[in-house]
Structure 1
Amino acid sequence: MISGTQYERIARRLVDESRKGRITTCAFTAAVPTIAAQLKRDAGSGLLKLWGRSRNFDEFAQDIIVHPKILTVIGTLAQEKIRDGQSYHAGLIHTYGYLFSWLQTPFGYKRKRWLNHTIEEGLGLPRRTLTAEPKQGTLLQNVTWCLGQIALCDCRQWKRASAENSDIAEVLRDYAFAALKSSRITEDVTVTDAGGKRRISLRTDMVELQANRRGSAPQSLVVYSVKDPRLGGVRLISTFTTEAAHIHELCQLHALGRQQPIRPRYNCYIEGFPNGTLLGHRRLTQN
């Protein structure tokens, strides 16, 4: 297994060696053959279509998250258009892309979620199910399957994509996702731009995780998605773990109801959404 520090060194070396040119697929494959092999297996998967668009900029660290050259070669290997104007394919940047990020945010390195087993252990899954080098499946497809079962199970797009013979770990196919204790914050807002008005929904699913070790603070898994007719339905944006105290803050009653200030979070990019906030309706539902 490659460590986080090693991923960072590889990323810096690939960028430095490319100088003013691009990082070639050959150079990337030689540096990280297991990641390159996964990306090639991801190519053409319907699960790639279940992701929305993300900014490559961290609002807290105020810096680029992943070097664009790294993202370009990732997209090439996955045969997916990774960049579209200001935004990137959220699934590719939030999985493989984060492995090669050397940005230290106030919450630590973004690659940690795919290296430290916190999500797997919290869900009661075997190690190396939702990590950079899974025993079965690929990182992108395993993660998409897991998040889809949590956040997209009410969507037609998910039913179609999940019916495919996807390259995922068997343990995920057998997992009882319906038994997870979760809640959802839905934020409905109207966005107006040159293309007209449209109603979008920002969805934050919060899943209680099992305690990883005695004395550790309770953790929850956050799955962020957006329902946007311009994207063709509901699309995944990001996932991460957080302490239960943050979940409690998100669910404060005073922040629920109509005429609430709403904005995209977690690097989500929504075409036409202005800088700042829009007033909308925020509601909480329990599973």
Structure 2
Amino acid sequence: MYPFKYHKAATVRGAVALMKKAEEPKLLAGGQTLIPTMKQRLASPKNLIDLAGCGLAGIEQKGRTLLIGAMTTHAEVAASAVVQQALPALASLASHIGDPHVRHRGTIGGSVANNDPAADYPAALLALGATVHTNKRKIAADEFFAGMFSTALEEDEIITRIALPIPGKAGYVKFPNPASRYALVGVFVAKKGRSVRVAVTGAGSGGVFRHAAMEDALSKRFNAKALDGITTPAADMNGDIHASPDYRAHLVGVIAKRAVAAAA
């Protein structure tokens, strides 16, 4: 690991000020991606700015919306009675991220900001029509995710919390890599009124995406059988040593049906 200077910010404003004056800064949330890449010398920031002291953790429900602070850990989301009652699919999602060590250090804000193409939270945000709050603005999930490891965040922008509308029904199922627990394919389905949103993670060559054909079918009939005959183009899928594009395309259909069944 390369030498670096460590800074612990006390406020979001202080963290932004440090980012503006520090040379080659990086924000540190849970560190579950950044620290390993630094150890492998794939990243070498000269200044690390820790957000742990900025008061960004916490979960509350306001009306039909869940508000989750950016520094809230996966374990806290999974164990929250508020989340379990209002949106059990999200609590279940959080409980299956990585292993206990990852869940107790990794944060929802860090995961969303990193936008790993196999991460779980991006599918939840996209399917739920969530809003990402930053120190500067509010960004709709449909506009936030911009491809693999890319988001709409600007250089001096920090996620402060995430607002997730509570749907009538929701379900998330993934086919995990047995070692990392990342999703080879994960599908989050959310139904609110007659509207249904379906988001797929782990499979798309451009990262998380919505499945329009499945949304149309499920909006007419919210049943796993409504997805019969709907295919996903393999040309749009990611391929690696774990799964080919064709296999991932097949899994999208299988996992989507399981997610609908879980929601229903």
User: Same fold by TM-score, threshold 0.5 exceeded?
Assistant: no
What TM-score do you get using the length of structure 2 for normalisation?
0.32
Task: Say which structure, 1 or 2, has more relative contact order (CA 8 Å, 6+ apart).
Answer: 1
What TM-score do you get using the length of structure 1 for normalisation?
0.30
